[in-house]
Each structure stands twice: as structure tokens, then as C-alpha cells.
Amino acid sequence: MSNQEEVNCWEISDAAHGRRLDQVLVELSGFTRARVQQLINDGEVGLLLPNQEVKVISKSSHKVLAADVYTARVPALQPLLLEPEDIPLDILFEDEHLIVVNKPSGMVVHPSHGHDSGTLVHALLHHCDSLPGINGVERPGIVHRLDKDTSGSLVVAKTEAAHHGLSALFASHDLQREYLAWCRGFPRWHNKTISLPMGRHPNNRQKMAVVESGKHAITDASLEKRFGEMFSRMRLRLHTGRTHQIRVHLTHEGLPILGDPMYGRKFNPSKDLPEVLRESLLHLSRQALHAEVLGFVHPITQEDVLCKAPLPDELVQLEQALSTLI
């Protein structure tokens, strides 16, 4: 994408007839779906009428017709206003196209309300000098994210070509993503595919929930270890990437993640637990969820990339404390 305003035109093929506007424009433009939807929401996309006037299309779900011509005004990228910050990074993989880091718990991925410094983006800008501004001034290079209190593997694009390629991988879910979670309770099964639709919680818009009208969400869950009758360690493999997907799916299965303030419900460890475990649980200041494995085919070199993020100290200590129950 250039630093100058662009006007693009695309004619709809017979094969695309009846499909969603945003899906078709992603394929025609090479932009990310988020970028296309942003352009539609901003009133930048229109249908060219026979009299050469342009009818603004404001819905991403608009169905296109064969031979229709759509235009899109792509505003020039705004200059990046964020100040780089010298924050140490735990780098798992890096080349001239992309970087994979082991994000610590407590770090926000990109600036947002209340988080205008100390984010991963600020650290990356210092390390990389520049990042593609495809996602605007606040999320350069970012193609996915981890919750603030989730640690682990996260990939960031360093070039526009890598950004487009990685975005396509995430859109098609063609990546290996494995998480570890330490939970209250344990399942009566060893392996299960949790396929439950997710959407906004009907009574709390800050939360997600299993809802019939939600988007499909699929998580493969495996029991890795039981700690007595009260706790377990689970391995989760994501097939989709909905907001809070693992946290919601595990809670729905009766396996809330330890330390999760939103979905874990209030938990007061029993005084009958070993003291080292009780203290570890009482002082756990994060959700016990870690994005351990991230694997994908490099979008530029086509080589296999497989990264494994080491556990942070607080989760190593939690594992050791839970092991006193075995």
C-alpha cells in the first residue's frame, strides 16, 4: 500500500456472484479482511452505477453480482505517531520479513485506551526501526494478538508482503497453535473437540460466551496431567481464533483457567491444600494460559517455521506447586 491516496476499481466475476462483498474484495485487492471491512465501514467502497455515479455500500455482508464494478478509495497511510521504547524482547525467530516473540504476561500487544505506552508495538518499533502500517497508526505489523495476561508465541510482520501472507494464514487457520492451560477440576475425557459457537455475552458486552447465534469456534482439548482431584493441565489446539476462545470453551466444560478474573469465578483455595500450593494460587496474578507452540509455513520463503515459547517463571512455579498433590 502506498503513502498516496489510491482509487481502485474491481469487476465481479461470474464465480464470485452472490458472495459477500468483504470476502470478494479481500481476494481482489490483496488487503487484509480487517482493512477491507474498515474501508467499507468508513464509506470508502461503492458500487459504480450505469450513470457513472457511485452508490456507497456500507455493509460488509452485501452480496455482489457478476459484472458489477466496485470502487474503493484507499486513503494515504497516516504517519506513525508512536514513540519507540527500549523494552527487552524474548525473540524466538526473526528474519528480514517477520519476527516471533515470546510475549510476557502483563504486556498489551498494541496501544489502546488506557495503554498508550509499554506495549509490544512500542518495543517492536525500537527493535525493528519500522513496521508496515497496514493496520493503521496503532497496530503496525500486527496480524493476531494475545490477551494482556496470556504469555507466549506471537508473530509480527516486518514487511507488507509478510503481513498479507500471514493474514491469509490466519484467515484460513492454516497454522499450528498450541496452548497450555492450568485449570480447576479435570475432565472425564482425555481428548475432545470442543465445537461451540461464540459471541458477545448477552448481559456483559465486555465478555464472550457460548451463544447459538455466535461464530463457529473449534478447540481441540487434551488432558495432559491431573493434579489430584482438584486441578489439571490441559493442551489446547486452536482451529479458529475467536476472542477469549480457550477461556470460554474451557469454562463451558467446567474447567475454568486458574487466575482468570473474567471467566474463572471467585476462587478461595482450601486451607487443606499444601501451603506452597495455597500461597502460589493466592498470589497468582495472571491467567494460567500460555501460547506454547506456533508453527506455520513462512509466507515469503515457504520454509517451515516452528517456535516453542518457554514457560515463564510464574507458571513453572505454579506447575511445581500443583505437583505436590501427586
User: Which CATH number belongs to the domain containing residue 32 in this structure?
Assistant: 3.10.290.10
Which of 117, 150, 171 marks a domain boundary? 171
Question: Are 245 and 276 part of one and the same domain?
Answer: yes
Q: Which of 22, 90, 147, 272 is catalytic?
A: 147
Cell of 265: 469465578
d(CA 231, CA 149): 20
Sequence-distant (6+) residues with CB within 8 A of 247 are 147, 257, 260, 262, 263, 287, 289
Q: What are phi and psi of 181, to 5 degrees?
A: -135, 135
d(CA 52, CA 170): 37
- Quick one: pLDDT at residue 133? 61
- For residues 266-292, one letter each, b for 16 or more C-beta atoms within 10 angstroms of the residue's C-beta and e for the rest, the string is eeebeeebeeebbebbeebebbbbbbb
Question: Are 274 and 260 part of one and the same domain?
Answer: yes
One digit per residue, the tens of pLDDT, for the chain of length 326 reads 445 567 889 999 999 999 999 999 988 887 878 788 889 988 999 999 998 889 999 999 999 999 999 999 887 655 556 788 999 999 999 999 999 999 999 999 988 767 778 999 999 988 987 777 644 455 678 889 999 999 999 999 998 889 889 988 998 899 999 999 999 999 999 999 999 999 999 888 789 999 998 999 999 999 999 999 999 999 999 999 999 999 999 999 999 999 999 998 778 898 999 999 999 999 999 999 999 999 999 999 999 999 999 999 999 999 999 999 98
Q: Residues 20, 40: contact at Cβ < 8 Å?
A: no
In a domain, 298, yes or no: yes
- For residues 11-23, one letter each, b for 16 or more C-beta atoms within 10 angstroms of the residue's C-beta and e for the rest, the string is ebeeebeeeebbb
Q: What is the CATH number of the domain that holds 249?
A: 3.30.2350.10
Question: Are 218 and 285 part of one and the same domain?
Answer: yes
- Quick one: pLDDT at residue 114? 72
**Which one-letter amino acid corresponds to residue 318?**
L
Cell of 313: 517463571
Question: Are 150 and 283 part of one and the same domain?
Answer: no
Which of 171, 206, 228 marks a domain boundary? 171
42 part of the active site: no
- Quick one: pLDDT at residue 134? 46
Q: Residues 85, 54: contact at Cβ < 8 Å?
A: no
Question: Are 260 and 291 part of one and the same domain?
Answer: yes
Q: Domain range holding 55?
A: 6-74
